[in-house]
Structure 1
Amino acid sequence: MDKHKAIFFTLVMISATLAGCTEPTRGLDTDGDGVDDAFDLCPDTDPTLTVNADGCADNQLDDDGDGIMNDRDLCPTTPPGTIVGPDGCALPDTDGDGVIDAEDLCPNTPAGATVNADGCALTQLDTDGDGVNDADDACPNTAPGMTVDAFGCDDSDGDGVADTDDLCPNTPQGSVIDANGCAQSQLDSDFDHIADSDDLCPNTPYQQASTGNVDEEGCHGGYVLAWDMGGIWGGNTSHGWIGEVDGELVSQRVIQIEETDFGFAALRSDGLVHSWGMYVAAVQVVQDVTQLESTYGAYAALKEDGSVVSWGCDLQGNCDDLEAGSDQSLVASDLASGVTKIYSSTYAFAALKTDGSVVTWGYPAWGGDSSSVSSELSSGVVEIYSSRWSFAALKSDGSVVTWGRPNFGGDSTSVSSDLNSGVVKIIPSSGAFAAIKLDGSVVTWGGSDHGGDSTSVSSDLSSNVITISTFSDFKHKGAVTIHNGAAFAAVKSDGSVVTWGHSDYGGDSSSVSSDLSSGVEQVFATKGAFAALKSDGTVIVWGDSDSGGIGAPTSNDISQIMSTHNGFLAIKSDGSVSIWGEQAIFGNGHTIGSYDIILANHYAFLIQTDDELHIFPEQTSCDDPNSDEYGTSGSTICMPRNITGQITLFVTAAYARAVIIEN
């Protein structure tokens, strides 16, 4: 029994031990502060000091985290982040930038500014000592002693514009300057090296300005020579050569010549316009002109102030006439200001204004009257295109507005839904229009024999069209006999060509379809034929045989093509030239071994070499064959004998020609 009691007691003790019912054993207290080492957060406390439950005395505690122990902290509740002194109390930081006043090199830093270790913001620093704080200094490493602008950059002339941006680095002290650092006396808006204050032609084109091809007053251009082709219109006035009538006005600075069927008007780079020829109206000289445009019998000049002046005559010699386009009285107030560009058809003008509106005048039925679409032309127009008889206006939203002769492009209602948006360019023939859209598709309208009907090739024109070609220089009816029909040729992104319009005048290209299936880079047009220049240097022609549709060179070294109304000119890689076209004018073609200048207008080619001048087609009579200055050349062309200098422009009226020759 006793044995069993002993065993039971032993089991009870084991169970009690496992259940934790033993009395705890006190551990070590190395620092003798009354807190066992196992629980002592401060094991090395001075035994003479009073500690808390964690075994820590005040000299071991920093309740406010300011780096000063409680036993020395006179300010035990300092807010976190505060800079304090040895007594645990905050040190003064007057500007509150986190750097105490004693160490703050910039004691008045704006509130909220980011500072460096010295308590300075960028607005208070000037690293390079140029007087411009680092925050504003675009050139922080300026050399000592340099004159700088407001942005801390070198400004040698002290005009406030950095040398790197200063177009006029030597501006006189005290001058009023523009944003480019230029005083009025230094301005050169067209960069022709003639100051605006001395420049009579402040809008010289870059090509002229960059080559220094201006005179001492900043003007460029040349002089005019004009001569008859067996008639009296343009080459002479009242049976007198141009040199005898206000010749001084066109002896220099001429940059543009506009032709009517009766004569010429020359625009000079200084804004003066002089017109001459048969049936010259009372207005012969206009000042301050920036653009010159013409119909078959009238001129319109856009002036610097945005106003328009027009003058001219009709076939009976009636000037200031609606038919000619010279009478603008009905829209005079609309043309008094705000015009930015002038356009023309054969018998009418259209002016585009700064507000996107359009003003028209001239022969009413042929585009001079746009009242039927006036609301649509009141705003938003960005470009205007003209056929011989009609106009088409492209608006900023990609829509198109048309007016003029209904059957020849003036009425586009049949395709109005296709022209409501997406149009990017319009190409006119003599009596129709073709519009290229953003998606590469083409929309056509106007006379079917002029290319206005493209339904036969609609699937081919539904996408990927890049450019469209047609003969479009048809304003002056006297100089060019226009066929009663026209055609278009479209080049697609794959190098193929699609044609439509009058089948006799290039609308049918089936005879050369395989040649036009790929590789075509450009297409050129006469009034009745086309020539396609291919990437392999060959030329493919089709259309009216008397307009250049046959007779092209068969070589593969063609680099460029030009055209008139009835002929083509090909420039070869060796510099030689081939011409072909209407048999009665060009015969079996011409070849010239080299050239310096080649110019083409709607009627003729001009080829200038070092010692020779060729004009095709040739003329067989001369109005003044005995003149010392004018006479018949070796090729029976009626033109001046003594042309010297580079010819820059060549124009042809109905019975006269004119050139600009660089002075």
Structure 2
Amino acid sequence: MEISLVDIGGNEIVRGKWPGSCQVLVLLQAAYKSKPGFQCKLMCGDVQLQPRMRLADLDRGIVTLVWAREDPPKRKVLRAAFAAITAHGSVVTWGDPQCGGDSSSVSDQIQEGVVQVVSNERAFAAVKADGSVVTWGDPAYGGIGSSISAEQLKEGVVQVVSNKFAFAAIKAAGSVVTWGPARGGDSSVISDKLEEGVVQADGSVATWGDAVFGGDSSAISDGLRGGVCQVVSNESAFAAIKADGSVVTWGDPTRGGNSSSISDKLHDSVVQVVSNSFAFAAIKADGSVATWGGPTRGGNSTSISGKIQQGVVEVVSNDFAFAAIKVDGSVATWGDASWGGNSYSVSEKLRKDVVQVVASARAFAAIKANGSVVTWGDPARGGNSFSVSDMLQEGVVQVVGNDFAFAAIKADGSAVTWGARHCGGVCSAVSDQLQEGVVQVVSNERAFAALKADGSVVTWGDPERGGDSSCVS
């Protein structure tokens, strides 16, 4: 059958003929080839298409591509505090006061107009509707009192991004302002490259920060002069996907900064790269996966290579392992065995019907098509859900992990938790508030916060890391 892929403006991206017996996966592969490094979803009318659906079941020959520039989901950098934006643009904070949980010093500046809040390990930065930026938290990490000139953040900021230590603000004119410690906060050595044109239309990349961790890309600078459409990082290395589907890497060679051992697999056709703390995994247009980096932490996937040669549609990572979802709904895992790289104990349950995989720092949780949940990995960090297994047999629509535990939202609006007791795995203190009305759950390293349908927020987990929000209740 003949199918046209069009963007939301009606512009044709790809047109082709495929047998009706083919799965929607072939359309996703065509979409990724047309725009490597970008995420997308496919819509046929009001229906979002899933990779395993048959083309013959589509009721029309026009499929709409919706592009999303977001990177693959990763656990947040945020460690010890929370910041909530209210409907009228004010910000409420709680958790460790030294890490941004106490914003009283800037409270008058975040009473209204906040449109974005970004965090690193110990500080926050809020972008306001007028283009100004407000910071608070540990001064050594870019919080209040940091050395950045206040004049540069008074207007014109359109986006703020962070690493663990520092912040960078992109301004409307295309310039970049950085602040925080030397590991990213000081960009003076390349300041001339950040004065305009960011994000650069020519697809070039400029780097700064700790040289060992990828701040110095001079060794592969030729590969970054143009055509880059996405950059992915782990704790100390980077991987850039180019428009031709090739990948360029730099940074700590033991953590994936050197990919020469599989360079032949990264020359073309890469559509997505996912990282954990020590390694990278690249999904190619044919559904195969190539891996590199720390060999015992997911960089070496030879033990399951036969399972990831085709049909992979998504890869998810925790700190030291990977899990690949295949088009047939099965899951293949590799990396540190005790942290989820070995899923043998639940292999029968992962053979089919898996629709999503979520990670904590050392474990995984898979949601299946019937709404049940399967877990594996470090039992102390959510890999063992036996204590709540009867509540995870059906009806689960979302699972969220922090470093130590998981929380599942069910179709009836209730929430179920498991994992490390002190870090949110047990919610008995607030269980009566989680029986209904939960619409979203977010996490930091050791705590959870649930947003309810009435706009209220319920928190639990480590009280010193945001699990206790009584001070702002």
TM-score of Structure 1 vs Structure 2, range by shorter chain: 0.7 to 0.9
Structure 2 partner of 1:301? 169
Quickly say closer, same or farther: Cα 1:400–1:461, change in 2 above 3 A. Answer: same
Q: Is residue 515 from structure 1 mapped to residue 381 from structure 2 by the alignment?
A: no
User: Judging changes above 3 Å, is the alpha-carbon distance between structure 1 residues 611 and 359 closer, same or farther for their aligned structure 2 residues?
Assistant: closer
Would you say 1:235 and 2:235 are equivalent positions? no
Describe how 1:578-589 pairs up with structure 2 within 5 A: 578-586=416-424, 588=426
- Equivalent residues in 2 for 1:396-407, closer than 5 Å: 396-407=243-254
Verify: 1:530 aligned to 2:355, yes or no.
no
Q: Does 1:598 align with 2:434?
A: no
2:146 is paired with a residue of what secondary structure? Answer: coil
CA–CA separation in structure 2 for the residues paired with 1:461 and 1:597: 35
Shift of 1:612: 5.6
Q: 1:363 to 1:620 in 2, by over 3 A?
A: closer
State the alpha-carbon separation in 2 of the partners of residues 605 and 265 from structure 1.
21
**CA, structure 1 residues 445+289, in 2 after alignment: closer, same or farther (shift >3 Å)?**
same
In structure 2, relative to structure 1, the CA distance for the partners of 1:289 and 1:611 (3 Å cut) is closer
Asked whether the 8 Å contact 2:415–2:435 carries over to 1, the reply is yes
Deviation of residue 529 (structure 1)? 0.6
Q: 1:491 aligns with which of 325, 331, 344?
A: 325
Q: 1:225: which partner in 2? A: 92
Report which structure shows greater RCO (CA 8 Å, sep ≥6). Answer: 2
Q: What does residue 327 of structure 1 align with? A: 186
Letter in 2 for 1:608: L
Q: Aligned-pair distance for 1:602?
A: 3.7
Q: 1:559 — aligned with what?
A: 397
- Alignment gaps of 5+ in structure 2: 1-86, 140-144
What is the identity percentage for the equivalent residue pairs of Structure 1 and Structure 2? Answer: 39
Residue 256 of structure 1 corresponds to 116
TM value normalised by structure 2: 0.74
Q: Which residue of 2 aligns with 1:607?
A: 450
After superposition, residues 71-82 of structure 1 pair within 5 angstroms as none
The C-alpha deviation readout for 1:29-58, integer Å capped at 9, x for no partner, is xxxxxxxxxxxxxxxxxxxxxxxxxxxxxx
* Contact 2:425–2:461, Cα closer than 8 Å, also in 1: no
3-state SS of 1:334 partner: helix
Paired residue type of 1:637: D
Q: What is the distance in 1 between the residues matched to 2:174 and 2:202?
A: 12
Q: 1:637 to 1:588 in 2, by over 3 A?
A: closer
Are 2:468 and 1:637 equivalent residues in the alignment?
A: yes
Contact 2:424 2:448 in 1 (8 A): no
- Residue 443 of structure 1 corresponds to which residue in structure 2? 290
Distance in 2 of aligned mates of 1:567 and 1:587: 5
Q: 5 Å matches for 1:472-483?
A: none
Specify every segment of 5 or more residues in structure 1 that has no aligned partner in the other structure, as ranges.
1-219, 237-241, 314-321, 341-352, 472-484, 623-635, 643-663
| d(CA) in 2 for partners of 1:380, 1:374 | 12
The residue that corresponds to 1:339 in the other structure is 198
Q: Distance in 2 between the 1:274 and 1:374 partners?
A: 34
1:553 to partner: Cα distance: 3.3
- Residues in 1 aligned to 2:301 and 2:465: alpha-carbon distance in whole angstroms: 44
Q: Deviations over 1:589-624 (max 9, x none)?
A: 5542013542313423211344963213140699xx
The amino acid across from 2:287 in the alignment is G
- One-letter amino acid matched to 2:130: D
Q: Does 1:424 align with 2:292?
A: no
1:153 aligns with none
Cα distance in 2 between the residues matched to 1:454 and 1:620: 39
Q: Deviations over 1:279-313 (max 9, x none)?
A: 23132544211110112221100000000000113
> How many Å separate the matches in 1 of 2:190 and 2:455?
51
Q: 1:586 to 1:250 in 2, by over 3 A?
A: closer
- 2:413 matches 1:572: no
- Count of aligned pairs: 370
Contact 1:233–1:262 (8 Å) recurs in 2: yes
**Cα distance change of structure 1 residues 253 and 449 upon mapping to structure 2, 3 Å threshold:** farther
SS at match of 1:330: helix
Tell me if structure 1 keeps the 8 A contact 2:406–2:425.
no
Residues of 2 paired with 1:537 and 1:292: CA distance?
36
The answer on whether the counterparts of 2:360 and 2:382 sit within 8 Å (CA) in structure 1 is yes
Q: Is the 8 A contact 1:382 1:393 kept in 2?
A: yes
Of 282, 296, 299 in structure 1, the residue corresponding to residue 147 of structure 2 is: 282
Q: Runs (4+) of structure 1 moved beyond 3 Å?
A: 586-591, 608-613, 638-642
Counterpart-to-counterpart distance in 2, 1:514 and 1:522: 16
1:271 paired with 2:105, answer no
Structure 1 position 567, deviation (Å): 1.6
Alpha-carbon deviation of 1:330?
0.7
Cα deviation code 1:460-492 (max 9, x no counterpart): 110010111113xxxxxxxxxxxxx61100011
For the residue of structure 2 that corresponds to 1:407, the secondary structure is helix
The corresponding residue for 1:501 is: 335
**In structure 1, how many angstroms separate the alpha carbons of the residues matched to 2:301 and 2:88?**
44
- Aligned position for 2:160: 292
Give the partner amino acid of 1:613.
Answer: V
Aligned ranges 1:337-376 → 2 under 5 Å: 337-340=196-199, 353-376=200-223
- Largest Rg, 1 or 2: 1
**CA separation of 1:541 and 1:589: change in aligned 2, threshold 3 A:** farther
Contact 1:581 1:589 (C-alpha < 8 Å) held by counterparts: no
Compared CA separation, residues 584 and 235, structure 1 to 2 (3 A): closer
TM-score (normalizing by structure 1): 0.53
Matches of 1:489 and 1:258, distance apart in 2 = 28
CA shift for structure 1 position 386:
0.7
Task: Tell me, in whole angstroms, the C-alpha distance in 2 between the residues paired with 1:333 and 1:509.
Answer: 49
State the shift of 1:521 in Å.
Answer: 0.9
**Separation in structure 2 between the aligned mates of residue 310 and residue 621 of structure 1, nearest angstrom:** 27
Q: Aligned-pair distance for 1:559?
A: 2.0
